[in-house]
Amino acid sequence: MKTLVIAEHDNAALAPATLNVLAAAARLGGEVDLLVAGQDCRAVAEVAAAVAGVARVILVDAPAYKDQLAENLAALVVAQVRTKSYGAVLAAASAFGKNLAPRVAALLDVAQVSDVVSITAVGRYVRPIYAGNVLVSVESDEPVQVLTVRPTSFDAVAATGGAATVEEAQAEADLGLSRLVGRALSKSERPELGSAAIVVSGGRGLGNGDNYQQVLAPLADRLGAALGASRAAVDAGYVPNDYQVGQTGKIVAPGLYLAVGISGAIQHLAGMKDSKVIVAINKDPDAPIFQVADYGLVGDLFEAVPQLTASLAS
Amino acid sequence: MKILVPVKRVVDYNVKVRVRGDGSGVELAGVKMAINPFDEIAVEEAVRLREASMATEVVAVSCGPTACQETLRTALAMGADRAILVETDAELQPLAVAKLLKAVADKEQPDLVICGKQAIDDDANQTGQILAALMGRGQATFASKLVLSGRTLEVTREVDGGLETLALELPAVVTADLRLNEPRYATLPNIMKAKKKPLEVLPAGALGVDVAPRLRHTRHAEPEARKAGIRVADVAELVSRLKNEAKVI
Ligand SMILES: Cc1cc2nc3c(=O)[nH]c(=O)nc-3n(C[C@H](O)[C@H](O)[C@H](O)COP(=O)(O)OP(=O)(O)OC[C@H]3O[C@@H](n4cnc5c(N)ncnc54)[C@H](O)[C@@H]3O)c2cc1C
């Protein structure tokens, strides 16, 4: 069986999550091809060709794919599956993959399995439901297995060491069903939230956006950490939406997660409870976050966090 | 302009679910049920569009057992004009739900479908996308803002790197994210009024759709609980433990 992985990229760089999806694809056995569809994205295809375990990079370079619109991409993926007889299609359970994969599955008339965290064989998966409170084993006999996979559950394959061929493939028609008007992407010098080794996350306890920046950012800088947030902090406008960790935000599993002024609602825990070490700083000794924290500090964050930052400097 | 809003009956988001002893599923007996929070946001958005005279009718639709009428009454109390229950006791997976919704859409011919982006029980995040594909229409998922001008809909989407805005021609399918709006509470008079609004029951079998489950859910388990941690006395102890014990800094 051959597997097609959908590369996530911005026409310039390959998203790190793609390396985790390739690791999941390897669990299915058989050859793994990687589809790089975009415009002026040959550089991405060349980087992708060096990734360990990729047999072929399928490069489709056309204006219809420039903005990664789901309608055009789904039609392309389906055409590739039909002409090349792929038995599985995998994408990351990221905003990109979640948007695209169900459309692919629908056009193939197969049931997709979402957010796979473990693969034992083709058609044998485990995925979380109910905000991660339940793990369900799923069996599928679908002729094409369409999966989104949770990147933090699979260790990334090596970015180098591979020697895939780059094959160009035909673009499909531009369906014109949607069009990009614009993007407002957060720019940050910090590591990417989804793959950072350390995450410093703030909640409603920070009180406002200025406090968030003044109290948490120096700690994150000192630790070389990514910044995250609870939904309450995002809803209140302390930080942009892409900081949100949780059931409906990003799933993270860093080596160290510091939850500051976050109560620990199940929807938040769903996004971070697979972190290796969890630290909670909260003034409420009964806050549920302490039930998952390896190290809990009961106290006022406005005192504790600056102290922590200062003691890391020395 | 007609808006179709699919709504799902799910376990209330405040409930911590338990797996049945034999792993066959989640214990639902006696558990509080509610409208899926994302669907509630979808209903709110549709009602606001009608209140702003951008839409003329809001139709809520649910697929499932008789009890889903309750969920539809919630949507009606929020302001939906009428409701349709596609009734079945069978287990429904996202592909089947989307096919049933497609059959309803074929009859109703909505200009816009607003779904919730995911249901908080199966967390699948699929139905809106599948429905858009089956309808052959454009999709805008994870919406945090809708602006309608004429037949063009501009949707701001929450994506991993920030925000992205798409333009689509109607008919189209949108899925609602948390920050699209804050749903209203249904007032008592509106709850009373909702009881008199039309609620049509369609047997799922009458729609000519194969709803047989494609996936088998063979075992449910609770994830391993994290082992209890410790309370540190102060920042100095925290730093020392992170350095010497956990070795993460
Ligand atoms: C459908 C749905 C999806 C959701 N998805 C998500 C999601 O993806 N991610 C998410 O995070 N939430 C999500 N939520 C929301 C979630 O239920 C909680 O409301 C949210 O996580 C609370 O955020 P918080 O912990 O910052 O705020 P709160 O619960 O208000 O907690 C604030 C904490 O700060 C502490 N505090 C206050 N002042 C100080 C101080 N000076 N020093 C120390 N501690 C202090 C308080 O003791 C309290 O514990 C979702 C909810 C729903 C219904």
Query: H/E/C letters for each residue in B213-247?
Result: CCEEEEEEECCCCCCCCEECCCHHHHHHHHHHCCC
Q: pTM of the prediction?
A: 0.98
DSSP B206: G
For residue B210, the 8-state DSSP code is: -
**pLDDT-derived band of residue B5, with 50, 70 and 90 as boundaries?**
very high
Q: Round to whole Å and give the CA distance between A219 and A214.
A: 9
Percent of chain A's residues with pLDDT above 90: 99
Neighbour-count burial for A285-301, b at 16+ CB within 10 Å, e otherwise: eebbbbbbbbbbbbbeb
| pLDDT given for residue B138 in this prediction | 98
Shortest CA distance to B128 belongs to which of A279, A114, A119, A137?
A: A114
Contact B160 A95 (CB under 8 A): yes
Partner residue facing B132 (CB), from A103, A241, A247: A103
For ligand 1, atom 36, which residue shows the shortest CA distance? A205
Q: Taking residues A70-80, report their average pLDDT.
A: 98
Which of B93, B222, B226 is the closest to A133 by Cβ?
Answer: B222
Question: Following DSSP, what letter does each residue of chain A receive, concatenated?
Answer: --EEEEPPB-SSSB-THHHHHHHHHHTT-S-EEEEEEESS-HHHHHHHHTSTT-SEEEEEE-GGGTT--HHHHHHHHHHHHHHHT-SEEEEESSHHHHHHHHHHHHHHT--EEEEE-EEEETTEEEEEEGGGTEEEEEEE--SSEEEEE-GGGSPPPPSSS---EEEE--------SEEEEEEEEPP-SSPPGGG-SEEEEE-GGG-SHHHIIIIIHHHHHHHTPEEEE-HHHHHTTSS-GGGBBSTTSB----SEEEEES----HHHHTTTTT-SEEEEEES-TT-GGGGT-SEEEES-HHHHHHHHHHHHH-
* Cα–Cα distance, A6 to A48 (Å, whole number): 11
Strand partners, B174: B114, B140
At A222, the amino acid letter reads R
Peptide bond between residue B171 and the one before it cis (omega within 30 degrees of 0): yes
Q: Do A295 and B221 touch (CB under 8 A)?
A: no
CB B73 within 8 A of CB B85: no
Amino acid at B175: T
How far does B97 lie from chain A, in Å, by closest CA? 11
pLDDT, residue B52, reads 97
CA of A159 to the centre of ligand 1 (A): 37
Q: Tell whether the model's pLDDT for residue B77 goes beyond 80.
A: yes
Average pLDDT over residues A156-172: 97
The rounded Å distance from CA A225 to ligand 1 centre is: 21
Contacts of A130 in chain B (CB under 8 A): 11, 17, 26, 120-121, 123
Distance in angstroms (rounded) separating the CA atoms of residues A231 and A243: 9
DSSP assignment letter at B179: G
Question: Going by C-beta distance under 8 Å and a sequence separation of 6 or more, which residues neighbour residue A52?
Answer: A22, A157, A158, A159, A160, A161, A162
Please state, in angstroms and rounded to a whole number, the distance separating the CA atoms of residues A263 and A269: 10
Residues counted in chain A: 314
For every residue of B40-64, DSSP letters joined together read HHHHHHHHHHHHTTS-SEEEEEEEE
Q: What are phi and psi of A202, to 5 degrees?
A: -120, 150
Q: Is A205 in the pocket of ligand 1 (CB under 6 A)?
A: yes
Q: Cα B223 vs. chain centroid, distance in angstroms? A: 24
Q: Is B199 helix (H, G, I), strand (E, B) or coil?
A: strand
* B241 contacts A295? CB cut-off 8 A: yes
Structure tokens belonging to residue A214: 């003044």
Please state, for a pLDDT cut of 70, what percent of chain A lies above it: 100
**pLDDT (average), residues B111-123:** 98
Kindly determine whether residue A178 and residue B117, on different chains, have CB atoms separated by under 8 Å: no
Tell me if residue B85 falls in helix, strand or coil: strand
Burial of A122 (C-beta count, 10 Å sphere; 0-12/13-18/19+): middle
* B122-168 confidence digits (pLDDT tens): 999 999 999 999 999 999 999 999 999 999 999 999 999 999 999 99
pLDDT for residue A263: 98
pLDDT at A314 over 70: no
* Residue nearest (by alpha carbon) to ligand 1 atom 14: A267
State the Cα–Cα distance between residues A170 and A151, nearest whole angstrom. Answer: 29
Atom of ligand 1 nearest to the CA of A204: 26
Chain A residues within an 8 Å CB radius of B238: 279, 295, 297, 308
Q: Is A313 on the interface with B (CB under 8 A)?
A: no
Reported as a single tens digit per residue, the pLDDT across A109-148 is: 999 999 999 999 999 999 999 999 999 999 999 999 999 9
Query: Is B214:A113 a contact under the CB 8 Å cutoff?
Result: no
**Binding-face residues of B in 39-68 toward A, CB within 8 A:** none
Q: Select from A170, A70, A227 the least CA-distant residue to B130.
A: A70
The interaxial angle of helices A95-108 and B127-135, nearest 10 deg, is 50
How many angstroms separate the CA atoms of A126 and A137, rounded?
A: 4
Pairing verdict, β B162-169 and B230-231: unpaired
Map out the domains of chain B with their CATH numbers: 2-222 (3.40.50.620)
Q: Is A99 in the pocket of ligand 1 (CB under 6 A)?
A: no
- Give the Cβ contact number of residue A106 at 10 Å: 28
Decide whether any atom of ligand 1 lies within 6 Å of the A301 Cβ. Answer: yes
User: Alpha-carbon distance A45 to A160, whole Å?
Assistant: 13
pLDDT of residue B227: 85
| Rounded Cα gap, residues A202 and A212, in angstroms | 7
Average pLDDT over residues B237-248: 97
Q: Per-residue pLDDT tens for A236-290?
A: 999 999 999 999 999 999 999 999 999 999 999 999 999 999 999 999 999 999 9
**Residue B58, strand partner residues:** B3
**pLDDT-derived band at A313, boundaries 50, 70, 90:** confident
Q: Does the Cβ of A195 fall within 6 Å of ligand 1?
A: no
Q: What is the largest distance, in Å, between two alpha-carbon atoms of chain A?
A: 62
A25 lines ligand 1 (CB under 6 A): no
Burial of B53 (0-12, 13-18, 19+ CB in 10 A): exposed
Residues in chain A within 8 Å Cβ distance of B124: 112, 114
Does residue A244 line the site of ligand 1, with CB under 6 A? Answer: yes
Q: Any CB–CB contact under 8 A between A117 and chain B?
A: no
Nearest to B214 among A134, A140, A177 (CB): A140
Cα-Cα-Cα-Cα torsion A201, A206, A211, A216, nearest 10 degrees, comes to: -20
CB B134 within 8 A of CB B173: no
The protein residue with its alpha carbon nearest to ligand 1, atom 39, reads A205
Q: Which of A263, A289, A297, A301 to mutate to test the pocket of ligand 1 (most atoms within 8 A of CB)?
A: A263
Chain B residues with CB under 8 Å of A111 CB are: 93-95, 213-215
